[in-house]
Amino acid sequence: AQSVTQPDIHITVSEGASLELRCNYSYGATPYLFWYVQSPGQGLQLLLKYFSGDTLVQGIKGFEAEFKRSQSSFNLRKPSVHWSDAAEYFCAVGGLMNTGFQKLVFGTGTRLLVSP
Amino acid sequence: NAGVMQNPRHLVRRRGQEARLRCSPMKGHSHVYWYRQLPEEGLKFMVYLQKENIIDESGMPKERFSAEFPKEGPSILRIQQVVRGDSAAYFCASSPMTRTGSGNTIYFGEGSWLTVV
């Protein structure tokens, strides 16, 4: 069965510092991997996705993530965090089901706090 | 180019009432998904629909919950006889027709926050 683990519930980073949010997944085939960001009371915005090809993917707002099959990881990184990045970040893994649709399984999220 | 539209954004219901949440997918998208986010938790898959068909409802509670995606109009998630435990954010998502062997991006709406009092 698919599963996603985000081991850090909260992370606090100083503005301007680098960021890495961890994501580990369990999936029996080639996974489709996503990072979404959610501000309080808002919906989910897609930051980036990995389907195939280059294992380092670039996303919006200066984020990137690296797919490491050997470690079953898809960690999200940003070299310099801005105060506006404070939000909840969700990693998700998806795959095509027999019925032909893509079902996403989400991690429990990591709340990012940015200190001045 | 409108995104996934959900309404109402916020809904308050008393225990025992019915809640109806509506979702219009992005233009050109024929697949609709409903997810539920309980407080302090991630999103959990509920149901996947195509026009006039429920394809996978493995995440739907066995009772009181139903979903439809009619030929015309939005998708509806219906919760009958709501209880306090139904209080959550309900997210609709849509994607274009899935191509075998490849993935598709799933786009989420802004969510509908249900509060049961």
The contact set of B with A (CB < 8 A) is: 31, 33, 35, 41-45, 48, 55-56, 91, 95, 98, 100-111, 113
Across the interface, of A44, A51, A108, the residue whose CB is closest to B102 is A51
Average pLDDT over residues B18-25: 97
Q: How many CB atoms lie within 10 A of CB A112?
A: 21
- B-facing residues of A in 54-73 (CB < 8 A) are none
CA A52 to chain CA centroid, nearest Å: 16
CB contact under 8 A, A43 and B110: yes
Taking CB atoms and an 8 Å cut-off, how many pairs form between chains A and B?
70
Residues of chain B positioned with their CB less than 8 A from the CB of A111? none
CB contact under 8 A, B43 and A102: no
pLDDT in tens, chain A (116 residues): 788 999 999 999 999 999 999 999 998 777 889 999 998 888 889 999 998 888 999 999 999 999 999 999 999 999 999 999 999 999 999 876 666 667 789 999 999 999 99
The structure tokens listed for A26 are 């369990």
Task: Locate the chain A residue with the closest alpha carbon to B40.
Answer: A108
The structure tokens listed for A70 are 């050997």
- If one compares B72 and A75, the residue with the highest pLDDT of the two is A75
CA torsion B56-B113-B85-A2 (nearest 10°) is 40
- Dist. CA B37–CA B46, nearest whole Å: 10
Q: What is the pLDDT of residues B30-56, one digit of tens each?
A: 889 999 998 877 899 999 998 889 988
Give the three-class secondary structure for B111. Answer: coil
Across the interface, of A42, A90, A99, the residue whose CB is closest to B110 is A42
Q: How far apart are the first and last CA of chain A?
A: 41
Task: Locate the chain A residue with the closest alpha carbon to B41.
Answer: A108
- If one compares B15 and B106, the residue with the highest pLDDT of the two is B15
Residue A40 contacts B where some CB pair is shorter than 8 Å: no
Looking at this protein, which amino acid is placed at residue B5? M
